[in-house]
Amino acid sequence: MKYENSRPFAVAQDQLDPLRSYRDKFHYPKNDHDEEVLYFCGNSLGLQPKTVETFIGKELDLWKNKGVIGQQERWISFHEKLEPQSAKLVGALSEEVVVMNALTVNIHLLLISFYQPKGNRHKILIEKGAFPSDQYAVESQLLLHGYDPEESLIEVAPRDGEKVLRTQDIISEIERHGDTVATIYLGGVNYLTGQVLDIEAITIAGKEHGAMVGFNLAHSAGNLPLKLHDWNVDFAAWCTYKYLCGGPGAPSGIFIHKRHHSWSGPRLVGWWGHDKKTRFKMQPNFDPIQGAEGWQISNAPIMGMAPLIASMEIFDEIGMLKIREKSKKLTGYLEFLINNIDLDISIITPENKGCQLSLVVNNGEQLFKYLSNNNVVCDWREPDVIRIAPHPLYNRYSEVFEFVKLLDKGNSD
Ligand SMILES: *Cc1c(COP(=O)(O)O)cnc(C)c1O
């Protein structure tokens, strides 16, 4: 696509945008003067679909009017409503996904099953500078099994002087540690740099060496098309409040490949993972559901799930391929504009990316404050990164244009 650094061009792109009507399906935030802000924080908290109130209202009414009858009629299978759409979203079979709990909780539950150290094979491979919650979770899992992170944690880092990982380096590390690696657990998209990893290539390398391979898809789900089943990934989890617009603290999705569904290994269980036909017979012997649902512990958080059902309906209606198509153009425009003005800014996000661009700026914190004072909602990560994520469902080309104008002005002021 050929871009132009001009407001009329940006406005024309908005008019040509096949997804332009979707912005009206979201509540768009405003400042204290009732003017719309420039919201580029969809990688942190997605905006609220306008249908959310109705969706929650329905459950509140049912609870109000029928009490526990709502449980029997509707809520007992409420989480199932999300399965076909979640499966499509991540490229899975319906029985390979379920929505439950929060993300880090699910990471622990998955690692309890998919980190099974034995003899020489006791290491977990992650990326250096992983999201802190993942780092903590993985280290605590090592300690839980009596291993020392100093010896059992492999952290793959970018090369000296580089900001992002090379797939080949990840694969070389897998090969170097060979059959001492029990589990590989990486972010599908790095939260800080926005780099997209080659899930398929990494999974192939990991499986070749007998490791379990899992991904944190917090920044991938709703951002990129995925094919978890075909890529042969063992397990994955994602949150739904970032790109997916499920609302603050919305429950997390998990994926467990079909080949693990008649699981007899370690797992923390609860009654919601029990076979549905006999769950309410209240018997002491656990009889798991054969599928991702078998990893459920508790009954579903209905009020937290209702907004997610509202937003997943929108994602499902469009489909990730079309969402991605717009996202490439929109983020591509942001990149084009930044590269076309005279700024002391470098984009650390590599070619292989989703919505987000991560900018490294010398006077970054000052510039970030300037942007915030001028209605831009984006975020700042110590020591020097500004993250900008235009969201294909509600951001406009003209907003990207206005943003870069501000960036230019703030930088030269
Ligand atoms: C957002 C994010 C989390 C957040 O974890 P919660 O349990 O939902 O609080 C964890 N890991 C990564 C990589 C994230 O991007």
Q: What is the pLDDT of residue 330?
A: 98
Distance 227 CA to ligand 1 centre (A): 21
The atom number, within ligand 1, closest to the CA of 239 reads: 8
Q: What is the pLDDT of residue 113?
A: 98
Q: What is the pLDDT of residue 362?
A: 80
Residue nearest to atom 10 of ligand 1 (CA): 133
Element (H, E) at 325: helix 320-339
Distance 241 CA to ligand 1 centre (A): 10
Distance 366 CA to ligand 1 centre (A): 27
Tokens of 401: 């244009």
Mean pLDDT of 137-165: 97
Mean pLDDT of 101-111: 98
Distance CA 54, CA 60 (A): 10
Q: What is the pLDDT of residue 85?
A: 98
The atom number, within ligand 1, closest to the CA of 107 reads: 7
Distance 411 CA to ligand 1 centre (A): 31
Of all residues in the chain, the percent with pLDDT exceeding 90 is 95
Q: Do 371 and 378 contact (CB within 8 A), yes or no? A: yes
pLDDT digits (tens, 9 = 90+) for 303-353: 999 999 999 999 999 999 999 999 999 999 999 999 998 778 899 999 999
Element (H, E) at 200: helix 199-208
Residue nearest to atom 8 of ligand 1 (CA): 103
Nearest residue to 22 (alpha-carbon basis) of 396, 412, 349 = 396
Nearest residue to 386 (alpha-carbon basis) of 347, 353, 328 = 347
The atom number, within ligand 1, closest to the CA of 249 reads: 8
Distance 13 CA to ligand 1 centre (A): 33
Residues contacting ligand 1 via CB (< 6 Å) = 102-104, 131, 133-134, 187, 191, 216, 218-219, 239
Distance CA 192, CA 190 (A): 6
Mean pLDDT of 178-198: 98
Mean pLDDT of 159-178: 97
The atom number, within ligand 1, closest to the CA of 191 reads: 15
Distance 129 CA to ligand 1 centre (A): 13
Residue nearest to atom 13 of ligand 1 (CA): 131
User: Residue 220 forms beta bridges with which residues?
Assistant: none
For residue 411, name the pLDDT band (cuts at 50, 70, 90): confident
For a substitution probing ligand 1, which of 101, 103, 127, 358 has the most ligand atoms within 8 Å of its CB? 103
Phi first, then psi, for residue 337 (nearest 5°) are -65, -40
Q: What is the pLDDT of residue 117?
A: 98
Distance CA 347, CA 47 (A): 25
Distance 71 CA to ligand 1 centre (A): 30
Residue nearest to atom 15 of ligand 1 (CA): 218
The atom number, within ligand 1, closest to the CA of 44 reads: 1
pLDDT digits (tens, 9 = 90+) for 47-105: 999 999 999 999 999 999 999 999 999 999 999 999 999 999 999 999 999 999 999 99
Residue nearest to atom 2 of ligand 1 (CA): 218
For residue 300, give the DSSP letter: -
Distance 240 CA to ligand 1 centre (A): 10
Q: Do 26 and 49 contact (CB within 8 A), yes or no? A: yes
For a substitution probing ligand 1, which of 104, 136, 379 has the most ligand atoms within 8 Å of its CB? 104
pLDDT digits (tens, 9 = 90+) for 234-264: 999 999 999 999 999 999 999 999 999 999 9
**Better pLDDT: 135 or 362:** 135
Distance 413 CA to ligand 1 centre (A): 36
95: exposed, middle or buried (Cβ count in 10 Å: 0-12, 13-18, 19+): middle
DSSP 339-401: HTS--SEEE-S-SSB-S-EEEEETTHHHHHHHHHHTTEE-EEETTTEEEEB--TTT--HHHHH
Distance 147 CA to ligand 1 centre (A): 24
Q: What is the pLDDT of residue 413?
A: 65
Distance 10 CA to ligand 1 centre (A): 33
Distance CA 159, CA 38 (A): 35
Q: What is the pLDDT of residue 342?
A: 79
Distance CA 164, CA 194 (A): 9
For a substitution probing ligand 1, which of 140, 191, 241 has the most ligand atoms within 8 Å of its CB? 191
Comparing 113-117, 235-239, 408-412, the range with the smallest average pLDDT is: 408-412
Q: Do 253 and 237 contact (CB within 8 A), yes or no? A: yes
The answer to whether the predicted template modeling score (pTM) of the entire model surpasses 0.95 is yes
pLDDT digits (tens, 9 = 90+) for 364-392: 889 999 999 999 999 999 888 999 999 99
Element (H, E) at 330: helix 320-339
The amino acid at residue 93 is: L
